[in-house]
Amino acid sequence: MEDLFIWASFQGQELNLSSEITKYNDPSLGSCFTFNGINSSTSYSTDSAGEDFGFQALMKVREDEYLPWTKLAALQVFIHARDEIVFSDSQRHFAEPGLVSQFVISSTVYARLGGIYGACVNDTSEVKSYYYPGKYTNYGCVLSCYQNVVHLMCGCTDPRYLGIDDPKIKVCPLSKGSCVLNVTATLGDPYTWSFCDCPVSCNDTQYSVLWYSSEFSINPAECLTSNSGTSSQSCKQEISDRAMISVFFGLNSQLSFEETPSMNINEYISLFGGVTGIIAGFCIISVVEFSFLVYRVLLTFCTNESVSLDEAGVQGDVDDEANF
């Protein structure tokens, strides 16, 4: 770890690299180092925004150890929730040597109802297969289903991803490479497989990242104490192989999207009772009166006649009163 990290800090306090930076190996990414991850012994949190309240690290890129055909010499940075792991296809950012890379993050929280309102998963036990640690993710479920199919067709698992948690099942050797590649060539993208039932997570946190970079000082302070030009040049060359990483929140806020039912049970009962009352109040007398009204309106428009007092029997009553 000392070959990669020069120092690391959180909220201005230097970290103990051996205990607070966790190392693990990924089949595709290789050696990975994580701060405040799922396997960390201590959980860190921040309630303030700004670079002084985030994570910083000065690291060595070690360009001299890169293979000649490598196009880019940089450190890959993954920003994710503490209870999630990184996949080989996860969104990443690059910290290049000789630069100070600042990653300004903001979080968005999604909460789905599930149940009768839509399919979503709260726990890994709710799906048929899940071979990854941490909380449930749709991508982890799809990869687990993919490994089941590879094992079914090839008798082993794809070495690029975590395998099935069974010591009797081995990863595929190089001789099985064509069989592994033939799985997606024959069946297509695992996301399109109808037999892989992998709903989205009911609770999910996603991070948006703004990336900024600037160069190191042309005359770093640690190189000014060199007596000779040769040692000073060597010092500057060593500095140019370093990368500074700074990750922090830009604002003390987060977006939150939560599904809520458009009509709960109380509102449904109230609406049902109101509609039932209207229907029950529409009795036979109302039907007869409304039908007679329609008849008279149609008669008036079709015959161009109106109801006179004589027709209604009212005129006779008026004459009788006058003679009295």
DSSP state, residue 202:
S
103 shares a domain with 2: yes
124 shares a domain with 15: no
52 shares a domain with 184: no
The pLDDT value given to residue 187: 92
Looking up residue 194, the CATH number of its domain turns out to be 1.10.287.820
Give a yes or no: residue 210 inside a domain.
yes
- Give the chain's domain count: 3
Residue 321 pLDDT grade (very low, low, confident, very high; cuts 50, 70, 90) = very low
91, pLDDT greater than 80: yes
Give a yes or no: residue 173 inside a domain.
yes
Residue 264: which residues within 8 A CB-CB, separation 6 or more?
none
Nearest to 97 by CA among 53, 52, 55, 66: 66
State percent of the chain over pLDDT 70.
Answer: 86
Give a yes or no: residue 196 inside a domain.
yes
The pLDDT value given to residue 293: 83
Q: Which two tokens stand for residue 258?
A: 């939560």
Distances from the Cα of 269 to the Cα of 126, 160, 273, angstroms: 32, 54, 6
102 shares a domain with 219: yes
Question: The domain containing residue 228 runs over which residues?
Answer: 1-107+206-255
Looking up residue 9, the CATH number of its domain turns out to be 2.60.470.10
232 shares a domain with 309: no
68 shares a domain with 5: yes
223 shares a domain with 91: yes
Average pLDDT, the chain: 84
Return the minimum-mean-pLDDT range out of 74-88, 181-195, 209-223, 229-243.
229-243
177 shares a domain with 279: no
42 and 20 Cβ atoms separated by less than 8 Å: yes
Residue 228 pLDDT grade (very low, low, confident, very high; cuts 50, 70, 90) = low
Return the minimum-mean-pLDDT range out of 39-53, 233-247, 297-311.
297-311
171 shares a domain with 288: no
197 shares a domain with 229: no
Amino acid sitting at position 12: G
Give a yes or no: residue 99 inside a domain.
yes
196 and 142 Cβ atoms separated by less than 8 Å: yes
Residue 276: which residues within 8 A CB-CB, separation 6 or more?
none
Residue 141 pLDDT grade (very low, low, confident, very high; cuts 50, 70, 90) = very high
- Three-class DSSP category at 277: helix
292 shares a domain with 156: no
Burial 120-136 (b: 16+ CB within 10 A, else e): bbeebeebebbbbebbb
| The domain boundary residue, chosen from 185, 201, 217 | 201
pLDDT tens for 55-71 read: 999 999 888 888 888 88
138 and 198 Cβ atoms separated by less than 8 Å: yes
What distance in Å separates the CA atoms of residue 33 and residue 23, rounded to the nearest whole number? Answer: 4
318 shares a domain with 181: no
144, pLDDT greater than 70: yes
130 and 143 Cβ atoms separated by less than 8 Å: no
